[in-house]
Amino acid sequence: MAFSSRICSISLVLAFAVLVSFAEARDHLVGGKPDGWKIPASESDSLNKWAEKSRFQIGDFLVWNYDSKKDSVLEVTREAYLSCNTSTPIAEHKKDETKVQLEKAGPYYFISGSQANCEKGEKVIVVVMAARSRRSGAVSPALAPSSAFGIEAPAVAPTSGASGLKGGVMVVVGVLAAFLMM
């Protein structure tokens, strides 16, 4: 009887660990604050400075808050980003709260739907980290944007596979499993 309750407990703990590992997608408020999607006041206030400090993973979401009567968000190519070309976006978003899922590793380019705002710096490059390696658990950085694309963009620093929620959950699961096996 005690043996079967331990097996049941271990199964529940492992099921919880699997669910948590798949529920890691995060929302990133663009600019780090509700009014972050705007013309930056200075170079140090640029949206790319914010993006440099953030870690973006496949499955995460970018969230913009803005007045859709005055602005919009365009996902564009690298070339359109550099020239602030608003005429042929990959995707156009016009809601007061826009939410975009990051579905692949690599750079994403976003500009204001107002060409004048874009030219004044209302634009951002977001670099999504590559998928986790199954063997090491480490996260591989996507292409280094400054060298691969010839433009100033957010830097991507490597992270440890044991960091964050997933690493903490796995430690807890290990301790619980060891305790239940006693």
Find the CATH number of the domain harbouring 37: 2.60.40.420
pLDDT tens-digit map of 105-145: 999 999 999 999 999 999 999 999 987 654 445 444 444 44
pLDDT tens-digit map of 11-42: 544 444 434 444 578 999 999 999 999 999 99
What domain range includes position 142?
25-181
Residue 48 lies in a domain: yes
Count the domains in the chain: 1
Residue 15 lies in a domain: no
Contacts (Cβ under 8 Å, ≥6 apart) of 153: 48, 51, 107, 125, 127, 145, 146
Alpha-carbon dihedral sign for residues 162, 48, 83, 116 = positive
Residue 8 lies in a domain: no
Q: What is the pTM of this model?
A: 0.64
Residue 32 lies in a domain: yes
Taking the C-alpha atoms of residue 166 and residue 161, their distance in angstroms, rounded to an integer, is 9
Taking the C-alpha atoms of residue 129 and residue 54, their distance in angstroms, rounded to an integer, is 11
